[in-house]
Amino acid sequence: MSQTVFVINGPNLNLLGLRQPEIYGSETLADVEERCVKLSKDLGLAPKFFQSNAEHEIIDLIHKARHEAAAIVINPAAYSHTSVAIFDALNTFDGIVLEVHISNIHAREAFRHHSFVSARAEGVIAGFGTQGYELALLRLARLLNRSGA
């Protein structure tokens, strides 16, 4: 049976494809989800995509993942740099956490260089564009002992 992975996206990522395409590309979140779902069939993973602009909703999703998911792939967006509450929520989750940033946060403004979430993540992917989500799923397939990279 496929293992459930929550793919959680934070604020403003609902505008992916429209928002600063020179930084984040022209694909929408729905395009990314479609590619991830296709890839996951071969990996034995079942990704469930979520997006919220509200910190408390992201925390509630992480709590839900405690009972429903083997792993979380999270792009906390701007909350990466501000949210101790999301970090604390991730520490209530026993499964694997991978953090994704579409852009290379280390090559941008200094305030983006630190992420509270990174201290809880098994791995961090930044600057690989939206392909970062697929790379995270490939890594999960390996970590969850399935086929993959």
Residues that bind ligand DQA (CB under 6 A): 12, 75, 77-78, 80, 101-103, 105, 112
Cα–Cα distance measured from residue 116 to residue 93, given in angstroms and rounded to the nearest whole number? 15
Q: Is 79 a catalytic residue?
A: no
Which tokens is 57 given? Answer: 């909703």
> What are 75's strand-pairing partners?
9
Buried b vs exposed e over 25-54: b needs ≥16 C-beta within 10 Å?
Answer: bebbbeebbeebbebbeebbbebbbbbbbe
Q: Shortest approach of ligand DQA to residue 145 CB, angstroms?
A: 28
Set 24, 63, 79, 106: catalytic member: 24
When the beta carbons of 44 and 129 are compared against ligand DQA, the nearer one is 129
Rg (CA), the chain: 14
Residue 30 or 66: which CB sits closer to ligand DQA? 30
From the CB of 81, what's the least distance to ligand DQA, in Å? 6
Catalytic-labelled residue, pool 56, 67, 81, 101: 101
CB of residue 31 vs ligand DQA: minimum separation in angstroms? Answer: 15
Q: Can 67 be counted among the known catalytic residues?
A: no
Nearer to ligand DQA by C-beta: 16 or 59?
16
Active site residues: 24, 101
